[in-house]
Amino acid sequence: MTKNKDKKQKSKFKKLIGKLHLWFGLLIGSIVFFISITGALYVFKDEIEGIQRNECIYHNEPNYQNKEKLTIKTLERLVEQQVPEKYPIHWVNIPIDHALSYQFYYYERNEHAWNYFDEYPVYKLAYVNPYSGKVLQVYDEKNGFFNIVKMLHWSFLLNSDWGKWVTGIPVLIFVFMLISGIILWWPKNKAARKQRFWFKWKNIKNWKRKNYDMHNIIGFYTSFFALIFSITGLFYAFFFIQAIIYVVFSGGNTQYPDFSHIKTTAPEELRTETTLDKIAKTVEELYPDAYMFALDLGHEHIDDHEHPNFEVYVRHLSYSYHKNSNLIFDENSGELLHTRNPEDKDLGEKMINANYDIHVGSIFGLPTKIIAFIVSLLCASLPVTGFMIWYGRNKKKKVKSLTNN
Protein backbone atom coordinates (compact mmCIF):
# COMPACT_ATOMS: atom_id res chain seq x y z
CA MET A 1 0.00 0.00 0.00
CA THR A 2 2.74 2.46 0.93
CA LYS A 3 4.53 1.75 -2.37
CA ASN A 4 1.37 2.48 -4.33
CA LYS A 5 0.83 5.68 -2.33
CA ASP A 6 4.41 6.77 -3.03
CA LYS A 7 3.92 6.07 -6.74
CA LYS A 8 0.68 8.07 -6.80
CA GLN A 9 2.31 10.99 -4.97
CA LYS A 10 5.27 10.94 -7.35
CA SER A 11 2.88 10.79 -10.29
CA LYS A 12 0.88 13.78 -8.98
CA PHE A 13 4.09 15.72 -8.33
CA LYS A 14 5.38 15.01 -11.85
CA LYS A 15 2.02 16.04 -13.34
CA LEU A 16 2.15 19.34 -11.45
CA ILE A 17 5.76 19.93 -12.51
CA GLY A 18 4.79 19.03 -16.07
CA LYS A 19 1.94 21.56 -16.14
CA LEU A 20 4.12 24.32 -14.67
CA HIS A 21 6.88 23.47 -17.14
CA LEU A 22 4.39 23.67 -20.02
CA TRP A 23 2.66 26.92 -19.07
CA PHE A 24 5.84 28.72 -18.06
CA GLY A 25 7.39 27.55 -21.33
CA LEU A 26 4.51 28.97 -23.38
CA LEU A 27 4.70 32.20 -21.35
CA ILE A 28 8.42 32.90 -21.69
CA GLY A 29 9.49 30.71 -24.62
CA SER A 30 9.86 33.53 -27.15
CA ILE A 31 11.80 35.63 -24.62
CA VAL A 32 14.20 32.76 -23.84
CA PHE A 33 14.68 32.24 -27.58
CA PHE A 34 15.48 35.94 -28.09
CA ILE A 35 17.87 36.15 -25.12
CA SER A 36 19.66 32.98 -26.23
CA ILE A 37 20.11 34.17 -29.82
CA THR A 38 21.41 37.61 -28.78
CA GLY A 39 23.75 35.88 -26.31
CA ALA A 40 25.11 33.67 -29.09
CA LEU A 41 25.60 36.70 -31.37
CA TYR A 42 27.61 38.51 -28.69
CA VAL A 43 30.00 35.67 -27.77
CA PHE A 44 32.67 36.35 -30.42
CA LYS A 45 32.51 40.16 -30.20
CA ASP A 46 36.17 40.60 -29.24
CA GLU A 47 37.47 38.26 -31.95
CA ILE A 48 35.39 39.88 -34.71
CA GLU A 49 36.17 43.44 -33.62
CA GLY A 50 39.85 42.50 -33.29
CA ILE A 51 39.87 41.63 -36.99
CA GLN A 52 37.82 44.67 -38.03
CA ARG A 53 39.94 47.10 -36.00
CA ASN A 54 43.34 45.54 -36.51
CA GLU A 55 44.77 48.58 -38.33
CA CYS A 56 44.04 50.98 -35.47
CA ILE A 57 44.60 48.65 -32.48
CA TYR A 58 48.31 48.99 -33.32
CA HIS A 59 49.53 52.56 -33.87
CA ASN A 60 52.42 51.53 -36.19
CA GLU A 61 54.58 54.49 -35.11
CA PRO A 62 58.05 54.07 -36.70
CA ASN A 63 60.89 53.47 -34.22
CA TYR A 64 58.54 54.02 -31.26
CA GLN A 65 60.92 52.20 -28.89
CA ASN A 66 63.23 55.24 -28.97
CA LYS A 67 60.51 57.87 -28.61
CA GLU A 68 58.72 59.43 -25.64
CA LYS A 69 54.96 59.28 -25.31
CA LEU A 70 53.01 62.51 -25.01
CA THR A 71 51.53 63.25 -21.59
CA ILE A 72 47.99 62.01 -20.96
CA LYS A 73 46.63 65.56 -20.59
CA THR A 74 48.29 66.58 -23.89
CA LEU A 75 46.76 63.56 -25.61
CA GLU A 76 43.37 64.39 -24.13
CA ARG A 77 43.48 67.92 -25.58
CA LEU A 78 44.58 66.62 -29.00
CA VAL A 79 41.77 64.05 -29.05
CA GLU A 80 39.18 66.70 -28.14
CA GLN A 81 40.44 68.89 -30.99
CA GLN A 82 40.14 66.06 -33.52
CA VAL A 83 36.92 64.56 -32.11
CA PRO A 84 34.89 67.50 -30.80
CA GLU A 85 32.02 66.43 -28.56
CA LYS A 86 29.56 68.16 -26.27
CA TYR A 87 30.88 66.12 -23.33
CA PRO A 88 34.41 65.64 -21.96
CA ILE A 89 36.40 62.41 -22.37
CA HIS A 90 35.55 60.03 -19.54
CA TRP A 91 38.51 57.66 -19.32
CA VAL A 92 41.50 56.23 -21.17
CA ASN A 93 42.63 52.61 -21.48
CA ILE A 94 46.43 52.39 -21.47
CA PRO A 95 47.98 49.15 -22.77
CA ILE A 96 51.19 47.85 -21.23
CA ASP A 97 52.45 46.82 -24.68
CA HIS A 98 53.82 50.06 -26.15
CA ALA A 99 52.98 48.90 -29.68
CA LEU A 100 49.26 49.22 -28.95
CA SER A 101 47.17 52.38 -29.31
CA TYR A 102 45.61 54.22 -26.39
CA GLN A 103 41.81 54.05 -26.18
CA PHE A 104 40.00 57.26 -25.20
CA TYR A 105 36.32 56.91 -24.30
CA TYR A 106 33.55 59.48 -24.53
CA TYR A 107 30.83 58.04 -22.29
CA GLU A 108 27.85 59.64 -20.61
CA ARG A 109 24.77 58.09 -19.06
CA ASN A 110 21.41 59.72 -18.37
CA GLU A 111 19.90 57.43 -15.74
CA HIS A 112 16.45 59.07 -16.10
CA ALA A 113 15.97 58.14 -19.77
CA TRP A 114 13.52 55.31 -20.52
CA ASN A 115 15.33 53.77 -23.49
CA TYR A 116 18.88 52.81 -24.42
CA PHE A 117 19.42 55.46 -27.11
CA ASP A 118 18.45 58.32 -24.79
CA GLU A 119 20.17 56.75 -21.79
CA TYR A 120 23.60 57.10 -23.43
CA PRO A 121 23.94 60.55 -25.06
CA VAL A 122 27.44 59.57 -26.18
CA TYR A 123 29.49 56.40 -26.18
CA LYS A 124 32.45 56.66 -28.52
CA LEU A 125 35.90 55.11 -28.63
CA ALA A 126 38.91 56.85 -30.19
CA TYR A 127 42.07 54.86 -30.94
CA VAL A 128 45.02 57.21 -30.53
CA ASN A 129 48.73 57.09 -31.33
CA PRO A 130 50.30 58.00 -27.93
CA TYR A 131 53.51 59.26 -29.61
CA SER A 132 51.92 61.72 -32.06
CA GLY A 133 48.45 62.27 -30.60
CA LYS A 134 46.85 61.39 -33.93
CA VAL A 135 43.39 59.87 -33.73
CA LEU A 136 43.60 56.72 -35.86
CA GLN A 137 39.93 55.80 -35.83
CA VAL A 138 36.71 56.67 -33.98
CA TYR A 139 33.99 54.11 -33.33
CA ASP A 140 30.44 54.97 -32.33
CA GLU A 141 30.03 52.20 -29.76
CA LYS A 142 26.53 53.35 -28.85
CA ASN A 143 25.20 52.50 -32.32
CA GLY A 144 27.60 49.62 -32.98
CA PHE A 145 26.17 46.20 -33.79
CA PHE A 146 27.57 44.37 -30.77
CA ASN A 147 26.58 46.99 -28.22
CA ILE A 148 23.01 47.05 -29.50
CA VAL A 149 22.95 43.24 -29.36
CA LYS A 150 24.30 43.40 -25.80
CA MET A 151 21.63 45.87 -24.67
CA LEU A 152 18.87 43.90 -26.40
CA HIS A 153 20.12 40.90 -24.42
CA TRP A 154 20.42 42.95 -21.22
CA SER A 155 17.22 45.02 -21.22
CA PHE A 156 15.42 44.94 -24.61
CA LEU A 157 16.87 48.43 -25.20
CA LEU A 158 14.97 49.81 -22.21
CA ASN A 159 16.63 51.76 -19.40
CA SER A 160 19.32 49.44 -18.04
CA ASP A 161 18.38 50.05 -14.38
CA TRP A 162 14.89 48.55 -14.69
CA GLY A 163 14.97 46.99 -18.15
CA LYS A 164 17.19 44.25 -16.72
CA TRP A 165 14.17 43.03 -14.70
CA VAL A 166 12.19 42.60 -17.94
CA THR A 167 14.80 40.04 -19.03
CA GLY A 168 15.74 38.93 -15.51
CA ILE A 169 12.30 37.67 -14.45
CA PRO A 170 11.89 35.38 -17.50
CA VAL A 171 15.42 34.03 -16.94
CA LEU A 172 14.51 33.36 -13.29
CA ILE A 173 11.55 31.33 -14.57
CA PHE A 174 13.86 29.62 -17.07
CA VAL A 175 16.05 28.44 -14.18
CA PHE A 176 12.95 26.78 -12.70
CA MET A 177 12.24 25.24 -16.09
CA LEU A 178 15.74 23.78 -16.34
CA ILE A 179 15.35 22.16 -12.92
CA SER A 180 11.80 20.98 -13.65
CA GLY A 181 13.00 19.70 -17.02
CA ILE A 182 15.52 17.44 -15.29
CA ILE A 183 12.77 16.14 -12.98
CA LEU A 184 10.56 15.35 -15.98
CA TRP A 185 13.48 13.87 -17.92
CA TRP A 186 14.44 11.50 -15.08
CA PRO A 187 13.74 7.96 -16.37
CA LYS A 188 11.38 5.63 -14.53
CA ASN A 189 13.36 2.47 -15.31
CA LYS A 190 16.34 1.04 -17.22
CA ALA A 191 14.38 0.67 -20.44
CA ALA A 192 13.38 4.34 -20.41
CA ARG A 193 16.93 5.35 -19.49
CA LYS A 194 18.30 4.04 -22.79
CA GLN A 195 16.05 6.42 -24.72
CA ARG A 196 16.91 9.47 -22.59
CA PHE A 197 20.70 9.70 -23.09
CA TRP A 198 20.95 9.55 -26.88
CA PHE A 199 18.89 9.49 -30.06
CA LYS A 200 17.54 6.04 -30.97
CA TRP A 201 15.98 6.81 -34.34
CA LYS A 202 16.86 3.73 -36.36
CA ASN A 203 13.25 2.51 -36.66
CA ILE A 204 11.49 5.80 -35.91
CA LYS A 205 9.98 7.88 -38.71
CA ASN A 206 7.51 9.95 -36.69
CA TRP A 207 8.69 13.60 -36.51
CA LYS A 208 6.85 14.12 -33.22
CA ARG A 209 8.92 11.41 -31.54
CA LYS A 210 12.14 12.84 -32.95
CA ASN A 211 11.19 16.34 -31.83
CA TYR A 212 10.32 15.01 -28.35
CA ASP A 213 13.72 13.29 -28.11
CA MET A 214 15.51 16.43 -29.26
CA HIS A 215 13.80 18.49 -26.56
CA ASN A 216 14.56 15.95 -23.83
CA ILE A 217 18.11 14.97 -24.78
CA ILE A 218 19.33 18.44 -25.75
CA GLY A 219 17.66 19.84 -22.63
CA PHE A 220 19.46 17.30 -20.46
CA TYR A 221 22.93 17.85 -21.93
CA THR A 222 22.68 21.65 -21.95
CA SER A 223 21.02 22.02 -18.53
CA PHE A 224 24.27 22.23 -16.51
CA PHE A 225 25.85 24.95 -18.68
CA ALA A 226 22.49 26.68 -19.18
CA LEU A 227 22.09 26.96 -15.40
CA ILE A 228 25.56 28.51 -15.11
CA PHE A 229 24.89 31.04 -17.89
CA SER A 230 21.43 31.83 -16.47
CA ILE A 231 22.63 32.38 -12.89
CA THR A 232 25.58 34.53 -14.03
CA GLY A 233 23.08 36.56 -16.08
CA LEU A 234 20.73 36.94 -13.12
CA PHE A 235 23.74 38.33 -11.24
CA TYR A 236 23.21 41.60 -13.14
CA ALA A 237 19.45 41.73 -12.66
CA PHE A 238 19.09 40.96 -8.96
CA PHE A 239 21.31 42.03 -6.08
CA PHE A 240 20.30 38.99 -3.99
CA ILE A 241 21.98 36.72 -6.58
CA GLN A 242 25.23 38.70 -6.18
CA ALA A 243 24.91 38.45 -2.39
CA ILE A 244 24.29 34.68 -2.48
CA ILE A 245 27.27 34.07 -4.79
CA TYR A 246 29.59 36.11 -2.58
CA VAL A 247 28.39 34.61 0.71
CA VAL A 248 28.57 31.01 -0.57
CA PHE A 249 32.01 31.26 -2.17
CA SER A 250 33.57 33.46 0.53
CA GLY A 251 32.77 30.86 3.16
CA GLY A 252 29.99 32.81 4.85
CA ASN A 253 31.28 36.38 4.76
CA THR A 254 28.37 38.81 4.56
CA GLN A 255 30.38 42.01 4.14
CA TYR A 256 32.00 42.66 0.76
CA PRO A 257 35.44 44.32 1.13
CA ASP A 258 35.07 48.10 1.20
CA PHE A 259 37.99 50.51 0.73
CA SER A 260 36.01 53.74 0.40
CA HIS A 261 37.68 55.04 3.56
CA ILE A 262 41.01 55.32 1.69
CA LYS A 263 40.82 58.82 0.30
CA THR A 264 42.91 61.57 -1.27
CA THR A 265 44.47 63.65 1.51
CA ALA A 266 47.13 65.68 -0.32
CA PRO A 267 46.22 69.32 -1.11
CA GLU A 268 44.87 70.05 -4.58
CA GLU A 269 47.84 72.36 -5.23
CA LEU A 270 50.06 69.29 -5.61
CA ARG A 271 48.14 68.12 -8.69
CA THR A 272 50.04 68.95 -11.86
CA GLU A 273 49.82 68.38 -15.61
CA THR A 274 51.78 65.14 -15.20
CA THR A 275 50.11 63.61 -12.10
CA LEU A 276 48.25 61.06 -14.25
CA ASP A 277 51.51 60.16 -16.00
CA LYS A 278 53.13 59.58 -12.61
CA ILE A 279 50.26 57.22 -11.71
CA ALA A 280 50.53 55.46 -15.10
CA LYS A 281 54.29 54.97 -14.66
CA THR A 282 53.75 53.41 -11.21
CA VAL A 283 51.19 50.97 -12.64
CA GLU A 284 53.48 49.98 -15.53
CA GLU A 285 56.38 49.36 -13.14
CA LEU A 286 54.22 47.22 -10.81
CA TYR A 287 52.59 45.17 -13.58
CA PRO A 288 54.94 44.85 -16.58
CA ASP A 289 53.15 41.66 -17.71
CA ALA A 290 49.57 42.99 -17.46
CA TYR A 291 47.41 43.75 -20.50
CA MET A 292 46.10 47.26 -19.81
CA PHE A 293 44.76 49.62 -17.16
CA ALA A 294 42.12 52.34 -17.08
CA LEU A 295 42.48 55.93 -15.83
CA ASP A 296 39.50 58.17 -15.14
CA LEU A 297 40.27 61.66 -16.41
CA GLY A 298 38.48 63.29 -13.50
CA HIS A 299 35.71 65.32 -15.14
CA GLU A 300 32.14 65.84 -13.95
CA HIS A 301 29.49 63.77 -15.72
CA ILE A 302 25.73 63.94 -16.15
CA ASP A 303 25.03 60.78 -14.14
CA ASP A 304 26.39 62.65 -11.13
CA HIS A 305 28.27 59.62 -9.83
CA GLU A 306 30.88 60.11 -7.15
CA HIS A 307 34.13 58.22 -6.67
CA PRO A 308 35.07 57.86 -3.00
CA ASN A 309 38.71 57.67 -4.13
CA PHE A 310 40.88 57.50 -7.24
CA GLU A 311 40.88 53.83 -8.24
CA VAL A 312 42.84 52.32 -11.11
CA TYR A 313 41.63 49.05 -12.60
CA VAL A 314 44.39 46.80 -13.97
CA ARG A 315 43.40 44.03 -16.38
CA HIS A 316 45.98 41.23 -16.48
CA LEU A 317 44.68 39.17 -19.43
CA SER A 318 43.73 40.25 -22.94
CA TYR A 319 40.86 37.76 -23.30
CA SER A 320 39.31 37.95 -19.83
CA TYR A 321 38.54 40.36 -16.98
CA HIS A 322 38.52 38.00 -14.01
CA LYS A 323 42.21 38.36 -13.19
CA ASN A 324 42.58 42.00 -12.16
CA SER A 325 44.14 44.32 -9.62
CA ASN A 326 42.64 47.39 -7.98
CA LEU A 327 44.90 50.25 -6.97
CA ILE A 328 43.98 53.39 -5.06
CA PHE A 329 46.01 56.55 -5.58
CA ASP A 330 46.03 60.01 -4.09
CA GLU A 331 44.73 61.90 -7.14
CA ASN A 332 46.55 65.09 -6.17
CA SER A 333 50.02 63.78 -5.32
CA GLY A 334 49.93 60.59 -7.42
CA GLU A 335 51.02 58.54 -4.40
CA LEU A 336 49.96 54.87 -4.27
CA LEU A 337 47.76 54.35 -1.20
CA HIS A 338 46.45 50.79 -1.57
CA THR A 339 46.97 47.67 -3.68
CA ARG A 340 44.64 44.68 -4.02
CA ASN A 341 45.92 41.91 -6.27
CA PRO A 342 44.21 38.62 -7.25
CA GLU A 343 46.10 36.72 -4.54
CA ASP A 344 44.72 39.13 -1.90
CA LYS A 345 41.10 38.35 -2.77
CA ASP A 346 39.00 35.60 -1.23
CA LEU A 347 37.11 33.11 -3.40
CA GLY A 348 33.93 35.18 -3.10
CA GLU A 349 35.62 38.24 -4.62
CA LYS A 350 37.20 36.10 -7.33
CA MET A 351 33.80 34.67 -8.28
CA ILE A 352 32.31 38.19 -8.42
CA ASN A 353 35.21 39.29 -10.64
CA ALA A 354 34.84 36.21 -12.86
CA ASN A 355 31.05 36.47 -13.31
CA TYR A 356 31.14 38.38 -16.62
CA ASP A 357 33.77 36.06 -18.09
CA ILE A 358 31.79 32.98 -17.10
CA HIS A 359 28.60 34.49 -18.52
CA VAL A 360 30.07 35.31 -21.95
CA GLY A 361 32.32 32.24 -22.02
CA SER A 362 35.66 34.07 -22.04
CA ILE A 363 36.88 32.65 -18.70
CA PHE A 364 39.31 30.23 -20.40
CA GLY A 365 39.50 31.90 -23.78
CA LEU A 366 38.30 30.47 -27.10
CA PRO A 367 37.36 26.93 -25.89
CA THR A 368 34.83 28.22 -23.33
CA LYS A 369 33.54 30.79 -25.84
CA ILE A 370 32.77 27.96 -28.27
CA ILE A 371 30.90 26.15 -25.47
CA ALA A 372 28.94 29.34 -24.66
CA PHE A 373 28.05 29.81 -28.34
CA ILE A 374 26.84 26.22 -28.82
CA VAL A 375 24.91 26.16 -25.52
CA SER A 376 23.22 29.49 -26.39
CA LEU A 377 22.02 28.08 -29.72
CA LEU A 378 20.84 24.86 -28.08
CA CYS A 379 18.96 26.88 -25.43
CA ALA A 380 17.28 28.79 -28.27
CA SER A 381 16.11 25.45 -29.70
CA LEU A 382 14.38 24.36 -26.46
CA PRO A 383 11.39 26.77 -26.67
CA VAL A 384 10.95 25.77 -30.33
CA THR A 385 10.96 21.99 -29.73
CA GLY A 386 8.90 22.48 -26.56
CA PHE A 387 6.27 24.46 -28.48
CA MET A 388 6.18 21.76 -31.19
CA ILE A 389 5.51 19.10 -28.54
CA TRP A 390 2.60 21.15 -27.16
CA TYR A 391 1.29 21.97 -30.65
CA GLY A 392 1.44 18.31 -31.71
CA ARG A 393 -0.43 17.13 -28.63
CA ASN A 394 -2.98 19.94 -28.86
CA LYS A 395 -3.65 19.20 -32.51
CA LYS A 396 -4.07 15.49 -31.70
CA LYS A 397 -6.64 16.33 -28.98
CA LYS A 398 -8.62 18.49 -31.43
CA VAL A 399 -8.64 15.72 -34.04
CA LYS A 400 -9.86 13.21 -31.40
CA SER A 401 -12.64 15.51 -30.24
CA LEU A 402 -13.79 16.07 -33.84
CA THR A 403 -13.85 12.34 -34.59
CA ASN A 404 -15.80 11.66 -31.37
CA ASN A 405 -18.38 14.26 -32.33
The span from the CA of 343 to the CA of 20, in Å, is 45
Residue 222 forms part of a structural domain: yes
The span from the CA of 93 to the CA of 102, in Å, is 6
Give the count of beta carbons closer than 10 Å to the beta carbon of residue 58. Answer: 16
Residue 53 forms part of a structural domain: no
State the total domains in the chain. Answer: 2
For 237, residues 6+ apart whose C-beta sits below 8 A from its C-beta are: 164, 165, 167, 168, 169, 171, 172
Assess whether 266 and 336 both reside in one domain. yes
The partner residues of 312 in beta bridges, in order of sequence, read 327
Phi, psi for residue 241 in degrees, rounded to 5: -65, -45
- Choosing from 313, 344, 375, the residue where a domain stops is 344
Amino acid found at 137: Q
pTM: 0.89
Assess whether 27 and 166 both reside in one domain. yes
The span from the CA of 309 to the CA of 263, in Å, is 5
Render pLDDT for 144-178 as a digit per residue (tens, 0 to 9).
999 999 999 999 999 999 999 999 999 999 999 99
Phi, psi for residue 203 in degrees, rounded to 5: -110, 20
The range of the structural domain enclosing residue 25 comes to 2-43+156-252+365-404
Pairing of β 102-108 and β 310-315 = unpaired
The partner residues of 336 in beta bridges, in order of sequence, read 329
Task: Report pLDDT for 217.
Answer: 85
Residue 282 forms part of a structural domain: yes
The partner residues of 128 in beta bridges, in order of sequence, read 102, 135
Task: Report pLDDT for 215.
Answer: 87
Assess whether 246 and 267 both reside in one domain. no
Assess whether 242 and 267 both reside in one domain. no
Render pLDDT for 338-361 as a digit per residue (tens, 0 to 9).
999 999 999 999 999 999 999 999
